Amino acid sequence: QVQLVESGGGSVQAGESLRLSCLASISNFALHSVAWFRQAPGRERAFVAGIAWRGGVTLHADPVKGRFTISRDNTKNTAFLEMDSLKPEDTAVYYCAVGLPIGSTAMRSIKAYPFWGRGTQVTVSS
């Protein structure tokens, strides 16, 4: 049974940093792409960042470019989202997802990921 467990969320002030982790219990984790999505109250779930199976290809959504960095450690079945210069508009539940998307368009799509964590809350106050 595949399980994804996010951790590292919390409440911070604007300008501060957080590092989210996603621990995956899945066979051949290294062969899967990993993505982070977020969902704010009353809004649809949105792509934040994705990283391909070897880690050589990463994508970041425009609102977080230059502030967030996705990475992975395949030896630990773990992916990370380093979030710097946080803004109040970053407040959301952050979800980790694992799948096999092909191409950058698919990497941004919720439909490409069959496995999801339960999410971790990030709250940024001004």
Checking if the pLDDT of 36 tops 70, the result is yes
73 phi/psi in degrees, rounded to 5: -125, 100
Per-residue pLDDT tens digits for 66-123 = 999 999 999 999 999 999 999 999 999 999 999 999 888 999 999 999 999 999 999 9
Q: Is the dihedral of CA 110, 75, 121, 126 positive or negative?
A: negative
Average pLDDT of the residues in 1-10: 96
φ, ψ for residue 118, nearest 5 deg = -90, -10
CA distances 67 to 37, 80, 114, Å, are 15, 14, 27
- The confidence score (pLDDT) of residue 73 equals 94
Tokens standing for 97? 């997802």
| Listed range (15-19, 54-58, 60-64, 106-110) with the worst mean pLDDT | 54-58
pLDDT attached to residue 112: 96
36 CB-near residues (< 8 Å, 6+ apart): 20, 22, 48, 49, 50, 70, 79, 81, 94, 95, 96, 97
d(CA 86, CA 74) in angstroms, rounded, equals 27
DSSP 67: T
Residue 54 has a pLDDT of 72
Q: Would you state the pLDDT for residue 76? A: 96
Mean pLDDT check: name the lowest of 20-24, 51-55, 69-73, 118-122: 51-55
